[in-house]
Structure 1
Amino acid sequence: MDKRAAIAIGMGAGALWAVAVVWGAQKAGLAFMTPLVGVPLAFAPVGLVMALMIGRLAQRRFFDDAIIDGDDFTPGSPPWVDQRVLSNTAEQALLALLIWPFVALTMGGQVAVVLGLAFALARLAFWIGYHLAPPLRAFGFAATFYTTVLAGVWSLAIWL
């Protein structure tokens, strides 16, 4: 199987994940949670995963004389990968910050909390996949992006 096909499979799995998360969060019978409570709780796992990423980069810098002074990472090196993962995670978190409050308002804060937990798991898959396997990286990216977008579109459909 070529790389493009493997990545397409990862993206397809991410799309299935998105449907399972958004649909499952609504059908799970979770207790209603107001958006005022749910949205901050939803972003806690996001922040914790980002803290892990930042901590890992700091650890890499501290123990590597070539980058301890803040020099650029060598393209393709493990710290370079970690920096790219952190940058993409910040972009995905910003997208979530713009969409999840509307989702919580429309579907309930409990759905936003599920989105936050799913985001954290998908970002960990993206991070590990970026280091080990393109299909897992594709899954992690798609599982984060598609879930946020699907939740936003689903909320808009409910709203209208």
Structure 2
Amino acid sequence: MDKRGTILIGMAAGALWALAVVWGAQRAGLAFMTPLVGVPLAMAPVGLVMTLMIGRLAQRRFFDDRVIDGDAFPPGSPGWVDQRVLSNTAEQALLALLIWPFVALTMGGQVAVVLGLAFALARLLFWIGYHLSPPLRALGFAATFYTTVLAGLWSLAVWL
């Protein structure tokens, strides 16, 4: 299969993941949680995954004389991949931080907590997929991005 086919399959699987997460979070029968509690709890798994990424980059720098002083990782190297994963995760985390509070207000903080757990898993899939073969990162990317966007749109529909 070519790269585009692999990416399309990852995108489709990410869309199904998003639907399952957002729909499942509402139907799971979880106890209601206020947004004031739910949003910080939702962001904790995001922060933990980012901590792993930052720690891995620091470890790579410490043991590599070429980048120990903060130079850029060589393109295509494992450290370069990790840096790109962290950058994309920071972008996705900002998007989540801008949308999930509204989700928590309209659907309950418990839904935001499920989003946070799903985010962490999807980011790990993104990270692993990127290291295995760049097109495989599509699943993790789509599972993160589509879930946040779908939750935001669903919340808007609930609110209206």
TM-score, with structure 1 as normaliser: 0.99
Alignment of 1:81-100 (within 5 A): 81-100=81-100
Q: Which residue of 1 aligns with 2:114?
A: 114
Q: How much has 1:38 moved relative to structure 2?
A: 0.3
Q: How much has 1:136 moved relative to structure 2?
A: 3.1
Q: Is 1:11 matched up with 2:5?
A: no
Q: Which residue of 2 aligns with 1:38?
A: 38
The separation in 1 between residues aligned to 2:139 and 2:76, in whole angstroms, is 20
Letter in 1 for 2:84: R
The separation in 2 between residues aligned to 1:60 and 1:67, in whole angstroms, is 8
The separation in 2 between residues aligned to 1:83 and 1:134, in whole angstroms, is 14
Structure 2 gaps of 5+ residues are none
Letter in 2 for 1:54: I
Letter in 1 for 2:114: V
The separation in 2 between residues aligned to 1:68 and 1:3, in whole angstroms, is 34
Q: Which residue of 1 aligns with 2:69?
A: 69
The separation in 2 between residues aligned to 1:8 and 1:97, in whole angstroms, is 27
Q: Which residue of 1 aligns with 2:2?
A: 2
Given that 2:6 and 2:136 are in contact with CA atoms closer than 8 Å, whether structure 1 keeps it comes out as no
Structure 1 gaps of 5+ residues are none
* SS of match in other structure, 2:105: helix
Letter in 2 for 1:116: G
Q: How much has 1:110 moved relative to structure 2?
A: 0.2
Q: How much has 1:135 moved relative to structure 2?
A: 4.5
Aligned residues: 160
* SS of match in other structure, 1:126: helix
Letter in 1 for 2:91: E
* SS of match in other structure, 1:76: coil
Measured on the aligned residues, the alpha-carbon RMSD in Å equals 0.7
